Amino acid sequence: RDTIYTRLNHSALVAVNPYKALPIFSDTTVQEYVADYKDTSAQKNQLPPHAFQIASQAYLHMRRTGQDQSVILSGESGSGKSETRKLLVKQLIALSAHHKKESRIQTQVPYSEFILESFGNSKTIVNNNASRFGKYTELQFSERGKLIGAKTLDYLLDKNRVANVPPNERNFHVFYYFIAGASQEEKSHLHLTDASQYRYLNVPRGTRGPSAEDIDNFNELKQALKSLGFHKRHVAQMFQLLAAILHLGNLQFMQDPNNRMKDSAFVKNVDVLDLVADFLGLDTNSLETVLTNKTKLIKKELCTIFLDVEGASTQRDDL
């Protein structure tokens, strides 16, 4: 029971997602595999298969050969790739620690992972923490095996999810963390209300208030941003942009039925338009024009197309 790892060969491991925390993920287990890595005796006890073991093996080959090592995670959504990835990084950080006190980079790497997860993961029907983008992470070590840097490349972000959340699923985590954890002062400044009031969040009306988990995650997100050197002003601007996106999704359009062929649609709730324009640093009229008109190049000439209510709504969501 709860035996989730099976070795296929010296470099391949099958991992089953247990969908719960297990004792084998603990810091104590980390240190057991660190000790196993350091034990060079011939008579040492063989530890059971584990993601930590794969990390130790890769680290050992890197130290001995000086060659780059790769770990590839493959599986369907919900198979546990993201969680296994965290375990691998956790073990590599532990192996590279030359002192009991953590270095700055050792705390920054997990925080950077959490930030990317907050902005790039979401809850789906089959997975509460589904990655909605691809990610390549490179951990950089000194000749002595000390972690000295990290690089992450992202690709294939599911941008459509921002404006088109599938039924019974959630948008990106960060929006819910933000709504749940923002202070009263932040909510007042950014004109934020309950999550069910925002079309992009896909939260049914009458849903109970924000979860304690979302609140805790928002606090951790702020701590992570601080750890990575984001200035308070830049963090505030980031949250202002998130608020602008939420308000943008609530813009409604109308059209004069007597002038459908001559005029484009116009924004019905001008107060929300003013708010979005202010948060984005744009002129209100210019923003409305962008939302209700589309410019196309036709035979070397720029032509403006008036958008109806449906077209303007699509234009809003495509921004």
Binding residues for ATP: 75-82
Report the amino acid identity of residue 317.
D
Could you please report the per-residue DSSP string of 152-166? Answer: EEEE---GGGGT-PP
Q: Where are the alpha helices (DSSP H) in the chain?
A: 27-38, 51-65, 81-96, 104-120, 173-181, 184-190, 212-227, 232-248, 270-280, 284-292, 309-318
Which residue, among 199, 239, 6, has the nearest Cα to 118 in the 3D structure?
Answer: 239
Lookup result for tokens 């039924």: 167
Q: Please report, in range form, the residues annotated as the binding site.
A: 75-82
Q: How many residues does the chain have?
A: 319
At 177, list the tokens: 């963390």
Task: Name the token pair of 94.
Answer: 């532990």
Distance from chain centroid for Cα 25: 22
